[in-house]
Amino acid sequence: MSGRRWLVLEPHDTVSVRDGRAFDAGVQTVGRAVPPHPATVAGAVGAAFGAPPGAGVDPAQRGVLVPAELHGPVVLRRRTSGRWRAWFPMPRVVVRVDADWRRLTPGNTRLDGVRHDLSDEVDLLGGPQGEPGGWLDGSALGRFLADPLVVPRDAGPPWVWERRVGLARDDARTARDGMLYSVEHLRPAVDASFDGFGFAVGCVSAPPHQLRETVPLGGEGRRATVHDWTDAGDLGPLPAAPADVHTRVLLYLATPAVFGDGWRPAADDLRGARLVAAAVGGPQPVAMGRPDPRTGELHARRLVWAAPAGSVYFLDFDGDAAAAREAVERWHGHAFAQSDETLRTAGFGLTLTGRW
């Protein structure tokens, strides 16, 4: 897609985004946090363009007050040389086995005595037992997508979890007895090689407005500096699509996805492909709220469960190479169809394609 403008949001300090599940100070005592998801960053991007709260959920305002679509967020770390480097969740088909990393593949695996609720529709993945997780940079992800034999290794997390203690207050801003709690924050990992941290967001059909210098990002009053990534090009931090996938396409989720068919893309959105196998993590809670355009106060709160970033889907076009090529052109670097259009245009389901 041409005309994509990439922005970078650089947090001033830590980032705190609640996962949206019920939390009462003095009862659960710990508020769980998640990395910033597309809905969080979409609100920050809208503020950067000076749009009223909630403009992005109005189809008439997309492409006018806010970008028509957002692609991201993608985690960035800035090298001491000044260049940004993308960081992605490790594909969930790559698992740690003792001190080594292995790559799982579809293999018509059948285990005696083991049954699953998908019958023979989807294969189990073959390979050793191991734990998924970790991170890799954009170059390593590009090699993983292009070569089915590449097994990447964990490059280390871009942040560390940090807990902060607070005390609930009443309407008079007086401390309430017994209401201590702690909230999780993400603190950027800074070392001798990396001295900066941010989130990249691709903006399609962005309005030609002057960007605000700082915007709210997440909760706890946190803010971020926003600026154009002027030399990003169209793909920005995303690796290029492989040259030729033949008839088998691997889908990788760079952001969480809320598919209409639960954990997997709906069959009608696969452009004739057959889902062979998948490696999907546990569901990720995503909390969203629609702000009042006049006051900015959140209402119509919503909690959804998403397939997490790093999930992988193995598709087969059953000999139709032309259909596979067209699908790669349509999917790579774009947001896959979601359960509703507002989620897709906010950046959920950002997809990269590869070979298997």
What pLDDT is stored for residue 2 in this prediction? 47
- Give DSSP secondary structure letters for 97-153: ETTEEEE-EEEEE--TT---TTTTSSPEEES---EE--EEEHHHHHHHHH-TT----
Residue type (1 letter), 297: E
Q: How far apart are CA 270 and CA 112, in angstroms?
A: 31
| pLDDT tens digits, 121-173 | 788 888 888 999 999 999 999 999 999 999 999 999 999 888 877 776 777 77
Type and span of the H or E element at 164: strand 159-169
Q: Shortest CA distance to 31 belongs to which of 17, 11, 43?
A: 17
Radius of gyration of the chain from its Cα atoms, rounded to whole angstroms: 21
Residue type (1 letter), 76: L
CA distances from 226 to 8, 10, 166, 214 (A): 6, 6, 28, 6
290, burial (CB in 10 Å: exposed 0-12, middle 13-18, buried 19+): middle
Q: How far apart are CA 31 and CA 89, in angstroms?
A: 23
Query: Please, which residues have CB within 8 angstroms of residue 131's CB and are 6 or more apart in sequence?
Result: 95, 96
Q: Who wins on pLDDT, 193 or 293?
A: 193
Confidence of residue 1 (pLDDT cuts 50, 70, 90): very low
CA distances from 330 to 1, 127, 177, 233, 270 (A): 9, 31, 56, 18, 11
Average pLDDT over residues 310-335: 97
Type and span of the H or E element at 328: helix 321-331
| pLDDT tens digits, 89-100 | 999 999 999 989
Q: Which residues of 142-163 are buried (b: 16+ CB within 10 A; e: fewer)?
A: bbbbbeeeeebeebeebbeeee
